Amino acid sequence: MPFLSVENLEARHGLLQAVRGVGLSLEQGEVLALVGANGAGKTTLLRCIAGAHRASAGRVVFDGADISALPDHARVKRGIALVPEGRKLFAGMTTEENLRVAERRGRKGPWTVERVLDVFPQLRKKLQARAGDLSGGQQQATAIGRALMANPSLLMLDEVSLGLAPVAVEQLYASLRGLLHDGTTIILVEQDLARALAAADRVVCLLEGRAVFAARAAETTRAAVLAAYFGVDSAAA
């Protein structure tokens, strides 16, 4: 049985159907890159898995249990953590306070503030700084650290490098490299296709709310993913 199974999931924003019958699965320890153009449904899909957006049909099975009816806080307790697009930090609170919010709401486990600082050493001198005063890269590191403090078994990262300077992206991925290869189950939304393919075991492409392409990352090409990304027949491309 897959560690995570999304089955015929559908979701709406009012009259707009954002996710259309999506199915995907992950084995424990896999890294899945979820790609697609803006508006393809990636963020909505992650939010449905996390319980932050209510699906209109389908189900989510996680670690052997159907969690489709569970609210978001109950899914956090079961081991699902989402780093949202835009980070969504508490700007008036310190870096350390942002981290400890998740510590109080998450599960017991190995992640502590000190371990987060080992992964993101750039935060050591910023623990008492207001989150709103951090650089973009430091804010993203804090957002990921906050999710890790919940001790998740499934970590979902939405638009990790969006809006960051190239040097900040390099630093962030250098910090994440251990997570991406230590058996943590991850869904990664990333606009940089080369970086996504390099980081992931498998890739799924969404187009207008549907999963239109899936492959082992090592067995596909950037051109094949781009064809799906733009809805082009790869045989004719």
d(CA 31, CA 197): 10
pTM metric for this prediction: 0.92
> Could you tell me the domains of the chain?
4-229 (3.40.50.300)
SS3 175: helix
Burial letters for 67-80: b for 16+ Cβ neighbours within 10 Å, e otherwise? bbebeeeebbebbb
pLDDT tens-digit series, residues 67-78? 999 999 999 999
pLDDT tens-digit series, residues 154-204? 999 999 888 888 888 888 888 888 777 777 899 999 988 999 999 999 999
